[in-house]
Structure 1
Amino acid sequence: MSARTDPIAVPKPVPAGPSDFTTPDPSAQVCGDTFDLDPRRSLAVTDEALLAGFTFTRVMDQIVETAAKPGLTREALYGRWWDYMNTSDAAAFPEALHCDDTVIKGKNSLGAFPIQCPRPEGALAFTDPFSDPDNNPDSYIPIGLFNRFDLARTDGSNCGEYRIVFAKRSGTFDSQNRNLIIFEASLPNPFPACGVEGCRPIAQAWAKLSDIDSEALRAKALEDFYFGDGAGAGPVVHADNYGPKGGQIRTNSFMPDPNLWQLREFVFSHECGFGPCIKPTLVKSNPFPQLFADPSPGKGGEAFKKWFLKQVPNLEVTDVNRFFLTDVGTFNAGQSSSEGVFDIYRLQSGDGTPFRDAIQAAITKPGVTTDQILNRTLTLSCAGCHEHANTPENGDLGGGLQWAPTLGFVQTTEEFTEDGEFGLRFPLSEQLDQIFLPHRKQVLEDFLTKAACSNCDALKIKLFGTKIVDPHKFDPPGPKAPGLTLGGPPRTH
């Protein structure tokens, strides 16, 4: 492995010609075909050479363009976004949203629960990440593209999420000044009349990457998919795909004073009172930690406990990629902190409390304890997925389930590189490599195998109105739940 002292790769000339992400000819894939995809080509792309065209400026420019609001600039969109981390009396943009806009019982809050306000990331509202990007410590570098076809809804309402991870350049040389941004676009179904089978062109296109050996052609295919219309569903990078039609933008920040790793979630909105903005939202699958205390504060504590006891069967599922929570809703917190003990649900629950006794009574599978149920809940949260579950105490899930560590708060890092297919690439965590990617690979391969034996014709459905698609044909094994995806019950990571 090498330290991040080398320059970022420069894009190489891309040959002219049609995109490698055009809608595939179904005849090229026949019933009975099997697949063995390369996860580092078709699921997680971190090669510097392939990421060179994915600049932060390009992404923000395209969001501004697709927002279609006259006068909106990337600088204003970015500055107002991060100004939320400031209080209104210390704002860079007085008209923007700020973290002290909502006060509940004397505490700055988001949703029903308190948040840390202000945050050191508020300083970013006063910076320009777009100028001199190769040398500016406040600029961002792309460190990964992630195919989340496994998140496609089995009802065909979307075709999964397609993510771009950026890291603040300062993090390549200063471990105390890091900020990661993940643009998580939800992609519409190009052929919704076929149900989730209409997502087949997208699945085939990602699968094709496993067979493209050319660096230039693979880079072009990826750029066409994200910024063009390479799979017939429109561009991935579109304002509506980061909130109005699903999707979100997440951040993972560690900036000086105070030194506290914290994860947040945002969505693009066309109207924030002053025009479009990227605004904060509750962090999915992250119940506010103090709700696990007994008694928990506030009137919602007892409602939460009744809800959680109904989740125990969902958390007992003996598959590390498929246990889940449903309808967390207003119990979600506005932040998730990866340091300290506040966000560790098992510790919040105390010792020998009536709530812990009730959880134990709700468990039906032998050999699974209350602590392990709470640890499974933790892994579904941002803090647990990224850092807290790295320790043996928090990573004990019981039932023979295995967990694996991250790269110290992150799943892929800007701090160092490793040798890859086309030179240097950014590394992946053991958690991704051993837990998540094998599952996502199997989901994509299984879908392609079933889709190859399909006879869905979107045009005929449109003309004659006869829907011939079995709505349960692509249901995954294991438990069913509202919002079921190809990968199983809905999860956020």
Structure 2
Amino acid sequence: MQLERHAPVCAALVIALSASPTGAAVSGFCTAGGDGRSTLGFDLKPSMVVHSAAVLDATRGELGLDGEAADRAFSFSRTIGALLESASAPADAAAQEAFVQTMLYSFRSPTGRMLNAEAGIFMPVDDRPEEAALSASAMLDDDGAQGMVPLALFNRFDLAPETWSHCGEHRIVYGLKRPEPDSPADRFLLIFEAMVPNPSPEAGEAGCRRVTEFWAGLSGMGEIEQAAALSAFYYDGTTGHADGDLSGPVVHFRNYGGDGNRGQVRANMFMEFNWQLREWLTQLTFAESGPALAFLPVTVKDNPLSQLFRDDLAADADVMAGNVPAAVTALHGDFVKTLTSDFVPNLMSEGSRKYGLLLDGLDGLDLGASPVDETAVLLGTIGLGAPDRFNEHQSTSQGGVDVPGEEPAGASVAISGLLDAAGAALGTASIPGQNGQTILNRAAAVTCGGCHMTAARSSPGHFGGPGAVIRENVDASVVRWPDVHANGFVHVNEADRALSPALEEEFLPFRRYVMGRHLCADLDAGAAPEEPGGEVPDPYALVLERRGVDVPEVATDARYLEAVVQDYLGGIGRGRETVGLVGASLEAMTEGLSDPERQGLRLAVSRAIEAAREIELVLTEGAYVETRRPH
């Protein structure tokens, strides 16, 4: 078994972690100094990001894994196969191709629009025939000319919620193999962003120590040791920690939106004009035949339909096409109210409590070669928190079409005036209120398209810098959004795995600082964490009621899929047949369902997942940042 093959490396990691305090006390990766400041015992690389060829190109043979010895240990095929296996589905070559094909099919949009059911309107969506024409089999061929290559592994512990139901996201980035010689087109990247449930939810924050200390421990390893440990972590759930392992593999369909409140798969693509980003969840189809698992296209989170930032939509043919005018008007009015009441405070994070805590905490840590200043804290805390009814199904990062308030010129005069007033009201003695344009720049920066280009390059056309102004200071200096990779549009370059200045200089040091605060906290001294489950808070209960979900575990537990299936089966009169099936396979639970019943089950599960994700993304604060932006 793979677990046994990883045993020598993982045993070494257990020894390293066991030699220092584990569990709830101050971590052994944090050392108190005589000046009252603590020093972190882990480096930015590899403990926050791994992008070295020695790790990512390590082969199965080098790590002693089953399968083709020459294949990469982090190959695209291995990840797709692991997702299928986690759903107890066939994972052979044909099944893998069929699964990937569900994503490729989603790029076709003959009507040029897609329904946002939460909003009650169609929203424009581009037809992408070049992406749809990609070959699933070629993408899965690790040695082929058009294979997907692993580019980086990211530790996003900073996305953990204040409830500590999960320990953030842990990501794998893939990119289409670059042709020789390189060209500006034919670019396609996927990022698998797994939510990792807290392995000891009853311990609260302390339960995530086995995750954070795993990543911190990579800094004391050689690169092949790192590759072996990371392989075991992602595909087996092995941490090598004295307190135990994860509750399951990181690469599991449930962790990408199939069961839980966070996690997704995103694409950044340029097989044709324009550069664009999309998003999917991996969900069970409950079908008797065909793929057991599918990539389900969903809205791109924190990416409101850009036209909502305009003063009037009545003359916008793209938005009005096929829609009830009153529904568009109602959504637009709702958006404007939410923009001034909720989004502006989220975007003006300098006034938030957790921003202040992060700023105050800088004095207590010696961050060494990866310093963090107030600008990095600002860049790490700006968020939008957009409810899904406002979000569209694509985010375009080329040109100004998706930049709030930019196109057409003069279309957002009244909106800018409202934001002038809202921004001015949030000023302080040290940080002045910001004008409407600066707030619009922040709103652009926290979208996928903005972070990947349009906020990083503010010149006309958005091909050149500098970054957009996101704050005007008292002394007339400004803070600008940091840059993407020199070639544009990406934060990890496919050709050489180089990282963007935004990652190297701002985002990664900030994330290391956040994990350092966690590792340096004496969690024994805190209040006892609440037991998971229990009574559903009123705001969460309202979400369940509005979405027609009658399963309280959806709001309180990290896993609820089986409970939703049980509830649905009971509701169609199969309750007696399901007695004793708790813990049984989902295949056994759904055996004998008719096609309409399976369709009803898909709808029930989809509603539950949507409710859980709304509770997590909109109603739940982050452990360290109030509004956690998805990218």
TM-score in same-fold range (> 0.5): yes
* Whole-angstrom CA distance in 1 between matches of 2:263 and 2:13: 21
Relative to 1, partners in 2 of residues 1:20 and 1:243: Cα closer, same or farther, differing over 3 Å? farther
Q: Does 1:354 align with 2:420?
A: no
Q: Does 1:237 align with 2:251?
A: yes
CA deviation digits over 1:6-43, x for unaligned, max 9? xxxxxxx9894535565943853564734143111100
TM-score (norm 1): 0.81
Relative to 1, partners in 2 of residues 1:20 and 1:166: Cα closer, same or farther, differing over 3 Å? farther
Q: Does 1:254 align with 2:270?
A: yes
Relative to 1, partners in 2 of residues 1:110 and 1:182: Cα closer, same or farther, differing over 3 Å? farther
Partner residue, 2:571: none
- 1:411-430 aligned at under 5 Å gives the runs 411-415=491-495, 417=496, 426-430=497-501
- 1:123-138 aligned at under 5 Å gives the runs 123-125=133-135, 127-131=137-141, 133-134=142-143, 136-138=144-146
| Greater mean deviation of Cα atoms: 312-321 or 154-163 | 312-321
Relative to 1, partners in 2 of residues 1:277 and 1:15: Cα closer, same or farther, differing over 3 Å? closer
CA deviation digits over 1:234-265, x for unaligned, max 9? 21111111112220000000013xx2111000
Asked which structure has the greater RCO (Cα within 8 Å, sep 6+), the reply is 1
State the secondary structure of the residue aligned to 2:300: coil
Relative to 1, partners in 2 of residues 1:361 and 1:42: Cα closer, same or farther, differing over 3 Å? same
Asked if 1 retains the 8 angstrom alpha-carbon contact of 2:166 and 2:195, the reply is yes
Alpha-carbon shift at residue 486 of structure 1 (Å) = 3.1
TM-score (norm 2): 0.64
Aligned-CA RMSD value: 2.8
Partner residue, 2:44: 39
Partner residue, 2:334: 303
Relative to 1, partners in 2 of residues 1:199 and 1:130: Cα closer, same or farther, differing over 3 Å? same
Asked if 1 retains the 8 angstrom alpha-carbon contact of 2:83 and 2:251, the reply is yes
Partner residue, 1:207: 216
Partner residue, 1:7: none
Alpha-carbon shift at residue 392 of structure 1 (Å) = 4.0
Asked if 1 retains the 8 angstrom alpha-carbon contact of 2:347 and 2:383, the reply is yes
% identical aligned pairs: 30
Counterpart pick for 2:490 among 410, 435, 454: 410
Relative to 1, partners in 2 of residues 1:235 and 1:294: Cα closer, same or farther, differing over 3 Å? same
Alpha-carbon shift at residue 219 of structure 1 (Å) = 1.4
* Whole-angstrom CA distance in 1 between matches of 2:521 and 2:204: 14
* Whole-angstrom CA distance in 1 between matches of 2:618 and 2:265: 25
Q: Structure 2 stretches of 5 or more lacking a match? A: 32-37, 58-72, 117-121, 240-244, 315-327, 351-377, 460-466, 474-478, 533-616
Relative to 1, partners in 2 of residues 1:113 and 1:360: Cα closer, same or farther, differing over 3 Å? same
* Whole-angstrom CA distance in 1 between matches of 2:507 and 2:525: 28
* Whole-angstrom CA distance in 1 between matches of 2:510 and 2:308: 31
Asked if 2 retains the 8 angstrom alpha-carbon contact of 1:287 and 1:332, the reply is yes
* Whole-angstrom CA distance in 1 between matches of 2:441 and 2:179: 30
Asked if 2 retains the 8 angstrom alpha-carbon contact of 1:405 and 1:429, the reply is yes
State the secondary structure of the residue aligned to 1:165: strand
State the secondary structure of the residue aligned to 1:170: coil
* Whole-angstrom CA distance in 2 between matches of 1:123 and 1:251: 15
| Greater mean deviation of Cα atoms: 355-364 or 20-29 | 20-29
CA deviation digits over 1:292-340, x for unaligned, max 9? 1111352221111111111212212232211222243210010001112
Asked if 2 retains the 8 angstrom alpha-carbon contact of 1:110 and 1:282, the reply is no
Relative to 1, partners in 2 of residues 1:260 and 1:18: Cα closer, same or farther, differing over 3 Å? same
Partner residue, 2:394: 335
Asked if 1 retains the 8 angstrom alpha-carbon contact of 2:456 and 2:484, the reply is yes
Partner residue, 1:66: 86
Alpha-carbon shift at residue 210 of structure 1 (Å) = 1.6
Q: Does 1:225 align with 2:225?
A: no
| Greater mean deviation of Cα atoms: 308-317 or 427-436 | 308-317
- 1:54-93 aligned at under 5 Å gives the runs 54-70=74-90, 73-86=95-108
Relative to 1, partners in 2 of residues 1:353 and 1:199: Cα closer, same or farther, differing over 3 Å? same
Relative to 1, partners in 2 of residues 1:17 and 1:317: Cα closer, same or farther, differing over 3 Å? closer
Asked if 1 retains the 8 angstrom alpha-carbon contact of 2:85 and 2:91, the reply is no
Counterpart pick for 2:348 among 301, 316, 325: 316
Asked if 1 retains the 8 angstrom alpha-carbon contact of 2:47 and 2:215, the reply is yes
* Whole-angstrom CA distance in 2 between matches of 1:81 and 1:64: 14
Partner residue, 2:471: 398
Asked if 2 retains the 8 angstrom alpha-carbon contact of 1:440 and 1:487, the reply is no
Relative to 1, partners in 2 of residues 1:18 and 1:391: Cα closer, same or farther, differing over 3 Å? closer
Counterpart pick for 2:185 among 173, 176, 187: 176
Q: Structure 1 stretches of 5 or more lacking a match? A: 1-12, 87-98, 418-425, 463-479
Q: Max radius of gyration: which structure?
A: 2
* Whole-angstrom CA distance in 2 between matches of 1:452 and 1:195: 9
Asked if 1 retains the 8 angstrom alpha-carbon contact of 2:482 and 2:501, the reply is yes
* Whole-angstrom CA distance in 1 between matches of 2:622 and 2:13: 23
Asked if 2 retains the 8 angstrom alpha-carbon contact of 1:153 and 1:486, the reply is yes
Alpha-carbon shift at residue 127 of structure 1 (Å) = 4.8
Asked if 2 retains the 8 angstrom alpha-carbon contact of 1:110 and 1:333, the reply is no
Alpha-carbon shift at residue 109 of structure 1 (Å) = 1.5
State the secondary structure of the residue aligned to 1:398: strand
* Whole-angstrom CA distance in 1 between matches of 2:7 and 2:204: 35
CA deviation digits over 1:343-381, x for unaligned, max 9? 111314843722221111112223511110000011110
* Whole-angstrom CA distance in 2 between matches of 1:180 and 1:17: 31
- 1:422-461 aligned at under 5 Å gives the runs 426-451=497-522, 453=524
CA deviation digits over 1:64-100, x for unaligned, max 9? 11121358811100112111113xxxxxxxxxxxx34
* Whole-angstrom CA distance in 1 between matches of 2:502 and 2:147: 28
* Whole-angstrom CA distance in 2 between matches of 1:155 and 1:283: 24
Alpha-carbon shift at residue 125 of structure 1 (Å) = 5.0
Alpha-carbon shift at residue 492 of structure 1 (Å) = 0.7
Counterpart pick for 2:283 among 262, 269, 273: 269
* Whole-angstrom CA distance in 2 between matches of 1:272 and 1:292: 39
State the secondary structure of the residue aligned to 1:129: helix
* Whole-angstrom CA distance in 2 between matches of 1:71 and 1:313: 47
Alpha-carbon shift at residue 285 of structure 1 (Å) = 0.4
